[in-house]
Each structure stands twice: as structure tokens, then as C-alpha cells.
Amino acid sequence: MDPRRRRKLKWVLYTVAATIVAIAIGANFDVPEKQLERKIEHLHGVGSAQFRREVASLLGPAVVNGNHVEAYNNGVEIFPAMLEAINSAEQTINFETYIYWSGDVGRQFAEAFAAKAREGVKVNVIIDWVGGLKMDEELLAMMEDAGARVELYRPLEWYNISRLNNRTHRKLLVIDGKVGFTGGVGIADVWSGNAEDPQHWRDMHFSVRGPVVSQMQAAFNDNWIKSTGEVLHGPAYFPPQPEAGDMDAQVFVSSPVGGGATMHLMYLMAIAAAEKSLDIHASYFVPDELAVDALQAAIRRGVKVRILVPGKHIDSETVRIASKKLWGPLLEAGAEVYEYKPTMMHVKMIIVDDFMVSVGSTNFDERSFQLNDEASLNIYNREFALAMREVFERDLRRTETYDHQKWSERPWTEKFMETAIIPLRSQL
């Protein structure tokens, strides 16, 4: 072949390859086709039968009665409860997480999963590939050699590079189909302790018993099917569910594949239904314009909006900068914003009218609304909501108020950075 034709062909092939890579990378910035574009109007409260009907119909899973939910604060309470549940397993353990790092906590969980697998318990583990990059191969080998099935969610492969940005952020643990856990913690040493210093984070996790655990099991199955093509079923996974308490609850999921707007819709519906108060723990608070408008509308109709966010101790400074940019209109409207001082605050919880509580893996940001696989637990129970409000009030005592004057006087360097970061906020 003529050298000039060879060079031309080579550059054509390079161009085609570069175009394919650019398209694949660009696909990671796509958002789901089903998106919300208009504000949801306030028609009824979260305690009404109408809200219950709509939230069940639009989010998918029904609101079921007969549940009991228990809250745990920080690793000092959370990890012993989870490990005790794992050690009690007789038939099945299903576990899904975003963060799994090496360290003391990571080893404790790997050893617990391995021990139960050796006893004959069916142990199924999903770890997000990106979130598990800091995990030693030794821990994976320990679990797999014992008989546990471990799946890395969407590892980097040529055929799924267009979905590299779509991670599982879900945090689920289901024991024998009867006991479930969800909340904010990952498997890493930063979650150990009692939020006593910047090296030990503030977070919450929740144990669940009752019929809603079957919905949690279905949430795990969603990504197990995506990872393996297998459905986990039978009485070992979905046993009869006796009543465990008097709480109404539902577990629902969102994913950019098939219903990416679910989590966004739930947040907007809850805000639209608020009549008295919205208390929000938001570890990453980067709402879109629709959520900001919804919060402003709630304030205008007399709802007291309080937002608790991390202070200087945060694991993503870009998130902090992008978040602050959005506080101005909310502060001007009358929202109260508080920065948590002692350590990184990683709690994800919204309390509406001291009646509805939503917890789980979901952050109040566009990544959780549009790109991540998430799972949330909604509890409709006044006694539980009032208990969570006490937790919120207790955390407020360790904060510093951030008012509109502070926002107006933030350094010019911060304002400059906001300009560059805000267009990328869906990726934060």
C-alpha cells in the first residue's frame, strides 16, 4: 500500500477510535430520559390518605404496615448491630454497598461473611467497583474462598464504559429475609467510633423488621439480577413476614436504567406535601433548580425549613463549593442552614411535619437523583419521626449557623470556583 494511503488510513482509524471513546465518555454525562421539569403543587399533607395512595402508586412499592425500625448513631452503635445480625444468619445474607475499603472494619465484615459462608449460609455480596477500589484483594479472596459470592458492580470493561458513571450507591443488608439494614454508612474505618473527632464521621443506619424487609430484599435483587442474571427467591429469601411493630413503611429504588426520576420525584412530593416543617440532614446538598424552587415554595406557605450540612470537615471540597452557591436564594427566602462542626456529617435524612421520615443511601443532589442506583426507606409514624427530630436537634447543638450575610461575604476565590464547578454539579 502506498505510504500516503497508509498514513491516511491510520489517521482515519485513529479518528474513528477517538470518536467511539468520546461518545462512550459523553454517554456518562447523559441523564435519564424521564425527567421532571415542573414543580409539584401542594395539594395535601404527608399524613393524608391521598399522599399515601400517590406515593405508593408513583414510586412503586406499597406502603405496608406492621414494621419496626430502630435507629443507630455512628459506628460505635451501627457496626456491632450489623455484625450481630450477620452472625445470627441461618440461611441467607445479602449485602450491597458503595464504599468498602481495607482496614479494621473491612476485615471484620469480610471475616464475618466468610465465617457464615463456611457454615453453609448463602452469602451474596455486591460491592461497587469504584467504591471498592481501596479494598485489598485479600479480603475479596477471603470471602470467595469461604464460599461467598462476591460481585463487583460495573467494573471497567470496554463494553460498559458508557455506564461507568452509573454506580450503585445503595447500602443494604438483609439477613434471612427477615431483618434489614440501610442508611448512610460504608464499610471503612472513617465510620468507626462515635464522631468524636475529624477522623470518625457522624452517620446513621437503621435496622428494619416486618413486611417491608421483603421490599428491601427486592431492592437487593434488582442489582443482583443486573450483575449475575440470577433471581434470588424462595422462602430462604422471601419468608412469611409476621408483624414486628406498628410502623407504616416502604422501600423503593431508583436507577438511571428504568425509572431514574423515582428518587427525585419522592423528594419533590415530600417537599410539596410539607405543611409545617422540613428538617433535612444532607451530607451532600447540591439540589437542582426544581428542588430549590420547591423548597422556596414551601417556605412561602409557612413551612419551617432547616438544612444541616457538613462544615469544613467534608470529603469533597468541590461539593461544598457548589453547595454554597445554591444557599443564597434559600437563605433569602427564609431557610435556616447549619454547618456541622466536629467532623464530616454523612447522615441522609429528611423529616416532614414530624410524621414522615426518609432515610437510606440517597443524597440531596443531582447525582443521586439522576445517575446513581439508590435505595430509600420511608417511615410514616409520628413517634419515630419525633424521635428523629430529637436526633436532628441534638446535632444542631454541634453546628454553626450560616446566614445570608455570610453567604454574601464569602471570598471572591470561592465565587470564582463556583462558576467553574456549578455546570458540572450533576457529576459531583
Across 31-40, average pLDDT: 64
pLDDT at 407 over 80: yes
Rg of the chain over CA atoms, in angstroms?
22
The torsion region of residue 99 among left (phi > 0), alpha (psi -120 to 50) and beta comes to: beta
Q: What is the per-residue pLDDT for 23?
A: 39
Q: How far apart are CA 383 and CA 389, in angstroms?
A: 10
Better-scored residue on pLDDT, 32 or 325: 325
Core vs surface per residue 335-359: b (16+ CB within 10 A) or e: bbbbbbebbbbbbbbbbbbbbbbbb
Across 70-85, average pLDDT: 98
CA distances from 394 to 47, 195, 229, 387, 391 (A): 25, 13, 45, 11, 5
Nearest to 151 by CA among 169, 165, 132: 132
Across 131-160, average pLDDT: 90
DSSP 21-60: HHHHHHHTT---S----SPPPP-S-TTSHHHHHHHHHHHS
Q: What is the per-residue pLDDT for 325?
A: 86
Q: How many CB atoms lie within 10 A of CB 265?
A: 20
Across 249-277, average pLDDT: 88
Q: How many CB atoms lie within 10 A of CB 117?
A: 23
Better-scored residue on pLDDT, 39 or 34: 39
Residue 290 and residue 39 in contact, taking contact as beta carbons nearer than 8 Å: yes
Q: What is the per-residue pLDDT for 16?
A: 39
Q: What is the per-residue pLDDT for 27?
A: 45
What does the block give as the cell for 313? 470537615
pLDDT band for position 12 (cuts 50, 70, 90)? very low
Residues in Cβ contact with 221 at an 8 Å cutoff, skipping those fewer than 6 apart: 231, 232, 237
Across 254-270, average pLDDT: 82
Across 242-259, average pLDDT: 87
Q: What is the per-residue pLDDT for 196?
A: 96
Give the mean pLDDT of the chain: 89
Of all residues in the chain, what percent carry a pLDDT higher than 90?
Answer: 72
pLDDT at 18 over 50: no
Helix (H, G, I), strand (E, B) or coil at 410: coil
pLDDT band for position 423 (cuts 50, 70, 90)? low
Across 368-380, average pLDDT: 91
Give this prediction's pTM: 0.90
Q: How far apart are CA 408 and CA 403, in angstroms?
A: 9
Q: How far apart are CA 275 and CA 24, in angstroms?
A: 45
pLDDT tens figures, 211-248: 999 999 999 999 999 999 999 999 999 999 999 999 99
28 phi and psi angles, rounded to 5 deg = -70, -15
Q: What is the per-residue pLDDT for 319?
A: 83
